């Protein structure tokens, strides 16, 4: 269990609504759906209504700072089944990157790989008291697109399992290119946090509003959103 999952949930019952994709930049085709992730009858581009409202607020602030720029949505709603699929996929890919057979791991190898995966991925818990953040409809993964519609280089890919994913990884770098990565990450963070989102401590791309991770980061007493159905 992650520390933030100890926060109690009192779901406000706010519905999931579809994100109007024409209003934002979007990573297409959706990377998890292309892998075969089981979304069922509801796709990844959904959020709770007030979370979507705050996303518009964040983009409005961004466009004052950088005219023509937009938020580029990578992923939003994620059923627990999709979370399980992606955790399994990430685990297998990590094992193979170390020249290991995922089906023939020692207990020590399995534990080590799982610890690396769960540093970035939330456990796919079916327990309504400990839902993965994305399964609440209150978390979004995103980056920036410039005025030409090009994705801004943030110095590491979304979902990269490495310290480069930490929001402030490049903060002390003396390299001009890495200083720019840090400035653009800070711009994204400022856009989102001024709209009421909280940033994941290990992921420059992940922001929450109203779920347990948000409540833990903001020192709120309860979370407003549990697992969305």
**DSSP H helical segments within the chain, as ranges?**
31-35, 49-65, 80-97, 107-120, 176-193, 212-218
**Catalytic annotation on 18?**
no
Contacts 24+ apart (CB under 8 A), 109-117: 116/161, 117/87, 117/90, 117/91, 117/161
Q: At residue 151, what are phi and psi to the nearest 5 degrees?
A: -65, 130
Is residue 50 a contact partner of residue 16, using CB atoms and an 8 Å limit?
no
Catalytic residue among 92, 172, 177, 203: 203
165 sits in which H/E element: none
> Which tokens belong to 107?
């207990």
Active site residues: 203
């Amino acid at each position: 269990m992650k520390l933030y999952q100890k926060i109690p949930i009192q779901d406000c019952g706010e519905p999931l609504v579809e994100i109007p994709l024409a209003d934002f930049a979007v990573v297409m085709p959706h990377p998890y759906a292309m892998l075969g992730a089981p979304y069922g009858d509801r796709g990844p581009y959904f959020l709770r209504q007030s979370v979507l409202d705050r996303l518009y607020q964040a983009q409005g602030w961004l466009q004052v700072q950088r005219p023509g720029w937009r938020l580029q949505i990578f992923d939003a709603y994620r059923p627990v089944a999709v979370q399980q699929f992606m955790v399994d996929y990430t685990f297998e890919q990590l094992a193979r990157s170390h020249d290991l057979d995922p089906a023939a791991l020692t207990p020590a190898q399995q534990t080590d790989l799982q610890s690396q995966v769960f540093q970035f991925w939330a456990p796919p818990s079916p327990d309504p008291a400990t839902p993965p953040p994305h399964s609440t409809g209150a978390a979004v993964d995103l980056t920036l697109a410039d005025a030409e519609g090009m994705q801004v280089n943030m110095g590491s890919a979304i979902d990269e399992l490495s310290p480069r994913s930490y929001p402030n990884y490049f903060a002390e770098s003396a390299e001009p290119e890495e200083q720019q990565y840090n400035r653009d990450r800070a711009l994204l963070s400022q856009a989102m946090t001024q709209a009421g989102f909280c940033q994941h401590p290990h992921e420059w791309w992940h922001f929450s509003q109203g779920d347990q991770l948000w409540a833990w980061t903001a020192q709120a007493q309860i979370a407003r959103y549990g697992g969305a159905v």
